Amino acid sequence: LNKIINLGCKVNQYEGYCLLKKFKDEKNVVIVNTCCVTHEAELKSLKKYRAAMRRYPNSRIIVTGCTCTLFPSKFKDADTIIDLETRNAFIQGVYPESGRSRYFLKIQDGCTSSCTYCIVAKVRNRIESKAVSDILEEINQAVKNGFHEVVLVGANIGLYGAERGERLIDLLHTLARVSNLPRIRLSSIEPQFVTDELLHGMNDIPICRHFHIPIQSADDSVLKAMGRAYSQQYLYDMVDRIRSTFDSVMLGADVIVGFPNEGEQEFLHTYQLIDALEFAHVHVFPYSPRPLTSAFSYGDRVSADIKRARRNRLVQCVTEHNLEFRKQMIGRMFDVIIEKEGRRSTGLTDNYVRVSVDKKCALHSLVRVVIADADTEQTIGHLSVDA
């Protein structure tokens, strides 16, 4: 049976699943889909590759993804190396099959920003956006295959269409004219693209009330050193605008802790913003200097212990806000897409809360629930009689 070992972001995984499909007529193929975003991700990619080489001696080992594109010599014993450019050409027109309940649709690739810590933009540096007609066709196929949610993913989806003078908002306007559109989620959007125009455009489609925003820091001097084009004040205003457009909106963030010029005071600016704006979900990345980036020369000045402690403080803060957020949902009705069957089924609401439903529900189905309780462990929902 063919197999894929996926690492990294949703774009990498989308491309990996497309590649797996391309090899469906071959037997004993093992794909290791690598990621290079942090030093840790790179080490993990190498570990998975070595484990696959040992564990599947009679299989064809294909290594692909970001790390092997930048550093192919690290994978020289693999049977085949497929870099990103070759992969993208090879999977044109292929739709992924991932077995997930939500359909992840890659709408663009590439980023032309020059954030000083980012290695991703070195390896995905050409903007290529899918044609609107291809996106509509892919959504159509996803609906035919029973998906109730499509997640739009990309290396930097705010840059959708930039290479041909189009914008993400134009895509949303087109989607607004499609009947039977499933619910749409933006995977992650850079702060500077969260404009009033985009927020209003999102309101015209069945959009998930969930923003995952890579703020990275909320300290102006750290943001400047990172090469990020916004300020702390912008982030406060941005969240105000989001909250005045959407009710019950889940806010998530990516944060880097331990950037070389981040002292306690700078970290506190980030912590205070996350706390004050009640972010309820966070991915914290302890900073690691990446080769080929301009921040590499700044060194790694914050100790691993301090990075870990800052990470834990943020996670603790967000965990409390998350519980508060879920408690506020009690007594209200939400649509849930079932991701796990069982005596109790579990699935996700549009505002990114995992709900445990008190009845057995069919996998991938969309059910309406009333939230009955929320504690540190789980959020409980009862099937609605209106369902």
Nearer to ligand SF4, 33 or 108 (CB): 108
Nearer to ligand SF4, 111 or 223 (CB): 111
- The DSSP 8-state label assigned to residue 95 in this structure reads P
To ligand SF4, the closest distance from the beta carbon of 112 in angstroms equals 8
HSE-CB at 179 with a 13 A cutoff on CA atoms is: 0
To ligand SF4, the closest distance from the beta carbon of 192 in angstroms equals 9
To ligand SF4, the closest distance from the beta carbon of 120 in angstroms equals 4
| Residue 323 parent element (H or E) | helix 304-327
DSSP 205-230: TTB-SEEEEEEE---HHHHHHHT-S-
Q: Is 155 in the site for ligand SF4 (CB under 6 A)?
A: yes
d(CA 372, CA 51): 44
Q: Binding residue for ligand SF4 (CB under 6 A) from 149, 190, 262, 335?
A: 190
| Total interface residues for ligand SF4 by CB under 6 A | 9
Nearer to ligand SF4, 101 or 217 (CB): 217
To ligand SF4, the closest distance from the beta carbon of 204 in angstroms equals 26
Sites for ligand SF4 among residues 7-66 (CB under 6 A): none
- Say if CB 337 and CB 348 are below 8 A apart: yes
Nearer to ligand SF4, 61 or 189 (CB): 189
Nearer to ligand SF4, 113 or 195 (CB): 113
Strand-by-strand arrangement of the 29-34 sheet: 3-6, 29-34, 60-65, 80-82
DSSP 196-208: HHHHHHHHTTTB-
Task: Give me the 87-126 binding string for ligand SF4, x by CB under 6 A, dash otherwise.
Answer: ------------------------x-x-x--x-xx-----
Residues 6 or more apart whose CB falls under 8 angstroms from that of 241 comprise 194, 196, 199
Q: Is 366 in the site for ligand SF4 (CB under 6 A)?
A: no
To ligand SF4, the closest distance from the beta carbon of 213 in angstroms equals 11
To ligand SF4, the closest distance from the beta carbon of 30 in angstroms equals 28
Nearer to ligand SF4, 118 or 235 (CB): 118
Nearer to ligand SF4, 254 or 275 (CB): 254
Nearer to ligand SF4, 32 or 118 (CB): 118
Q: Is 198 in the site for ligand SF4 (CB under 6 A)?
A: no
- Say if CB 383 and CB 369 are below 8 A apart: yes
Q: Is 335 in the site for ligand SF4 (CB under 6 A)?
A: no
Q: Which one, of 356, 332, 368, lies nearest residue 148 by Cα?
A: 368
Nearer to ligand SF4, 121 or 181 (CB): 121
Q: Is 156 in the site for ligand SF4 (CB under 6 A)?
A: yes
Q: Which one, of 78, 21, 71, lies nearest residue 52 by Cα?
A: 78
Q: β-strands 379-383, 29-34: how paired?
A: unpaired
Q: Which one, of 338, 378, 327, lies nearest residue 346 by Cα?
A: 338
To ligand SF4, the closest distance from the beta carbon of 312 in angstroms equals 24
Please, what is the Cα angle at 141 between 23 and 384, to 5 degrees? 120
Residues 6 or more apart whose CB falls under 8 angstroms from that of 287 comprise 117, 256, 257, 258, 259, 260, 262, 300, 302, 307
To ligand SF4, the closest distance from the beta carbon of 170 in angstroms equals 20
To ligand SF4, the closest distance from the beta carbon of 60 in angstroms equals 31
Query: Residues interacting with ligand SF4, by CB under 6 A?
Result: 111, 113, 115, 118, 120-121, 155-156, 190
